[in-house]
Chain A
Amino acid sequence: MDRGNSTSRRNFLKSCLAGAVVLGARGKGELLEAADQSSAGAKSTVVIARDSMLRGGASAVDSSRILSLLDRAMQSLFDLDHPAEPWKQLVHPGEKVGIKINALGGRGLSSNRHLVEAICERLEEAGVRAGDIVVWDRDTDEMGHVGFSAATAGNRVQCFGTDRIGYEEELVTSGSVGSRLSRILTQLSDVLINVPVLKDHDGAGVTGALKNMYGVIHNPNKFHPNGCNPYIADLNLLPAIRTKMRLTVCDATTACFEGGPGYKPQYSWNHNALIVSQDPVALDYTGWQIIERKRAEKGLKTLEADGRAPRYIATAADAQHRLGTSDPRRIALVEV
């Protein structure tokens, strides 16, 4: 079955130019200026791919359209014509690939299963064996509740939580806190593909790429004080995370602008978008702006005014962490 509509590079560029949209509620702000300069070097590219017909009139995301949306996003990010090509640049046959999802939000606000299936499909096309792919989060039951049925045997994509395999005995220290890492990360993943959900977060302000790594340690509760700052940045600095994470595909098909991270229908909206980047800091900065814009639309205070500005994003970009950029002038924002 042909699930995807491959987008040629020409069409893609056309739609990119035609679809350039201002992010942020203040007209042509810094972020757009940054997008305008996307051809300049030393920038982090963040692609937002949207499809208003992603659900085709139904409430659920359409599996073929989300594959197509993923292709558009990835081809744009890597500037390549064929859907499988970006993945061949990311991974190599024989590598074990961990896809870290987020199932914490429960039904309605967790990583979309069709999106993860689409990623797996493209990984296999890129030569990765199905049995070398593991879709995972913290808890197998939580994953099951949001549609990720456990699979732990055979030459197929593996799917289970760290609860089934445990954490390393050895402590690693990130900043001031010691943690044990998931064995899925340390032993079953050469490459990490991060698939978070774009959400408001009562403590951190925003949760996206960087905070999704709380799911790889045994004690995330010790990382929540002070709006998770600098804990999120410190955690992402760990070599096991920093060196393995090659891509973030942020699920913004349904996003949340208030009351997160749990699912609350009144504070969620169908954004019908994917945000992809190899720079998790730039991605989180971009996601933050999307949430702020939605909050403004709904008449809510900014996160800053609400005392919840996600300061960890700037910390992640500072000289001690250098995990990416939070400077909009250095973010090449592309909307397709």
Chain B
Amino acid sequence: MGWYMPGAANCGPGAKRGLVSIVKNGEDPGRSSERRGAWPAFALDRRAFFKCTVMAGAACGLSRLGLPSLAIPLPAPTAADDSRFVVEARFYQKLPNKKVKCKLCPRECTVGDRERGYCGVRENRGGTYYTLVHSRVCTAHVDPIEKKPLFHYLPGTLAFSLATAGCNVNCKFCQNWDISQVRPEQVPAEYAPPPRIAEVARQTNCPTIAYTYSEPVVFSEYLMDAADAGHEIGVRSIVVSNGYIQEEALKTAYGKMDAVKIDLKAFSESFYRDVVVGELKPVLDTLVTLRKMGKWTEIVYLVVPTLNDSDSEFQGLARWIKTNLGVDVPIHFTQFHPEYLLKNLPITPVPTLERAKAIADAEGLHYVYIGNVPGHPAENTYCPKCRRLLVERLGLTARQILIRKGACPSCGQAIPGIWRA
């Protein structure tokens, strides 16, 4: 079985394949944002992974070749069978004239026969709506959980992290646009049914499956089935998502998750409209719903210079979190790197991130982190009561975990999170 694993510099469809990268704790001081394949400290080679999957009792798919760089048409693919990836969508409504209305995300695409929704991975075929990406994994890695980043969820453990193609927004700064902004047939993928994913996670010593990299909202059906398969053998699931999802789908799909990380792209509707091609309000609603569901949630806020880095925005965000979610929800202010359609902007200056943290701290939030700046002291977790160091991190590595029974060993303050497998 070969997984598509683009390299750090070239993430195109023709990139090297056949490896699953593993970023081990202690070996990678890189950024903690969810760019896949950026820091392959070492890789499990194809033979080892093959062995692993065979041990897991899984069938192996054959890799398809990448496309050539020259304009020479390829011969017809042999026995290509995409039908195994096609499953009727869960959240949609049938309309007259063979149209459908998607009820998965707030966009609510009305999709005519033979057309796809905005995400590009759901298609109307004769009035029935289908997902085209069930079990269609285009990238998979073994990552530290800190890379998601989730800092209050099983620190120091690994997550078997995967994605399919597609996304329901179009962020101009997307780091993984070559899988998120394409159609499933445009990127090599493997057939990976849920039980196989669960087994591979276990075989690679991952207590958790992470749905990440692109946008898991658009592969909700697969995510739910994989989570069920994982739970059957004691493997948990977490999701890294933009939170742009309708309430029913959220409760049904993310209800199966053990923890959630939401990328809150900004705290202004204008940013969401112009840079994300989405809306802020539904994402805030998602955060509130997750809170009501009792789902462990952390928030990432990518600070983009000049676009979402004003004091008022940081302050508004911090106050909103305090009022609606409480002071114990971790928030990570992470450093932007120029990518995709925002290559004209600089890397976020560290003082900007520190300013964001200072504002959020002043508003009373307990767990405010700075991300993508390896070695910064704000990567660590401190007790909000006595300020003792509780988890020391360096990049993607949890170097010391001093929390005892979910509490500060010094003052006994309870530290919210999921600390034990």
Give residues in A with beta carbon < 8 Å to B: 104-106, 140, 150, 152, 158, 160, 163-167, 169, 171, 173, 176-178, 183-184, 186-188, 201-203, 218-219, 221-222, 224-225, 258-262, 264, 267
Q: Are B71 and A188 in contact (CB under 8 A)?
A: yes
- CB of A219 within 8 A of CB of B71, answer no
Give the Cβ gap from A133 to chain B, nearest Cβ, in Å. 14
User: Is there an interface contact between A152 and B98, defined as CB atoms closer than 8 Å?
Assistant: no
Which 9 A-B pairs give the minimum distances between C-beta atoms?
Answer: A262-B113, A187-B71, A166-B67, A202-B112, A221-B120, A164-B73, A262-B114, A152-B73, A183-B71
Within 8 A of A (CB), among B89-112: 97-99, 109-112
B4 to chain A, nearest CB (A): 15
- Determine if B183 and A165 form an interchain contact, defined as CB atoms under 8 angstroms apart: no
> How far apart are the CA atoms of A202 and B274 in the complex, in Å?
25
Q: Across the interface, which residues of A come within 8 angstroms of B70, CB to CB?
A: 187
Contact check, B73 vs A262: say whether CB atoms are below 8 A apart: no
Contact in complex: B71, A221 (CB < 8 Å): no
Q: Which residue of chain B lies nearest to A177 when distances are taken between CB atoms in the complex?
A: B170
Q: Tell me the bound Cα distance from A258 to B274 in angstroms.
A: 32
Highest count of chain A CB atoms <10 Å: which of B71, B112, B120, B177:
B71
Asked whether any CB of chain A lies closer than 8 Å to the CB of B364, the reply is no
Assembly CA distance A317 to B71 (angstroms): 33
Q: Is the CB of A262 within 8 A of B67?
A: no
B45 CB within 8 Å of chain A: no
| Residue in contact with A184 in the complex, picked from B14, B71, B111, CB distance below 8 Å | B71
Q: Is the CB of A259 within 8 A of B97?
A: yes
Instruction: Take A140-B76, A152-B73, A225-B118 as given contacts and tell me if A203 and B112 are in contact as well, using a CB distance cutoff of 8 Å.
Output: yes
CB distance from B42 to the nearest CB of A (A): 28
Question: Do A219 and B112 touch (CB < 8 A)?
Answer: no
Contacts of B277 in A (CB 8 A): 176, 222, 225
Closest to B167 in A: A222
**Cβ contacts A to B, 8 pairs, < 8 Å:** A164-B74, A178-B177, A178-B341, A202-B111, A203-B115, A221-B119, A225-B118, A264-B113
Interface of B is mostly: loop
The CA of A169 and the CA of B186, in the complex, are separated in Å by 12
Q: Tell me the interface secondary structure of chain A in the complex.
A: loop
Which residue of A is nearest B96, CB measured? A259
Q: Give the contacts of B52-76 with A (CB-CB under 8 A).
A: 67-76
Which residue in B72, B109, B119 is a CB contact (below 8 Å) of A165?
B72
Query: Which B residues between 19 and 73 are near A, CB-CB below 8 angstroms?
Result: 67-73
Q: Note all chain A residues with C-beta closer than 8 A to B232.
A: none
- Report if B13 contacts A (CB, 8 A): yes
> What residues of chain A lie closer than 8 Å to B76, measured between beta carbons?
140, 150, 164
Whole-angstrom distance between the alpha carbons of A201 and B112 in the complex? 8
Interface pair A219/B115, CB less than 8 Å apart: no
- Contact residue among A173, A201, A262 (Cβ-Cβ distance under 8 Å from B98): A262
A residues near B183, Cβ cutoff 8 Å: 218-219, 221
Task: Say whether B97 contacts A178, CB under 8 Å.
Answer: no
Does B248 have its Cβ within 8 Å of any Cβ on chain A?
Answer: no
Q: Given that A165-B67, A178-B340 are contacting pairs, would A264 and B97 also be in contact in the complex, using a CB cutoff of 8 Å?
A: yes
Residue B332, interface by CB 8 Å: no
Interface residues of B in 284-334 (CB under 8 A from A): none
Judged by a CB distance under 8 angstroms, whether B131 is at the interface is: no
Q: Is B185's beta carbon under 8 Å from chain A?
A: yes
* Chain B residues in 8 Å Cβ range of A167: 186
Q: How far is the CA of A260 from the CA of B124 in the complex (A)?
A: 13
Q: B95's closest neighbor in chain A, by CB? A: A202
Which B residues are CB-close (under 8 A) to A160?
A: 73
- Could you tell me if B110 and A222 are in contact, using CB atoms closer than 8 angstroms? no
**B118 to A165, Cβ gap below 8 A?**
no
Contact: B185 with A163, CB < 8 Å? yes
With CB as the reference atom, state the residue of chain B lying closest to A260. B112
CB closest residue in chain A, given B67: A166
Interface centre among A167, A187, A202 (most CB of B within 10 A): A202
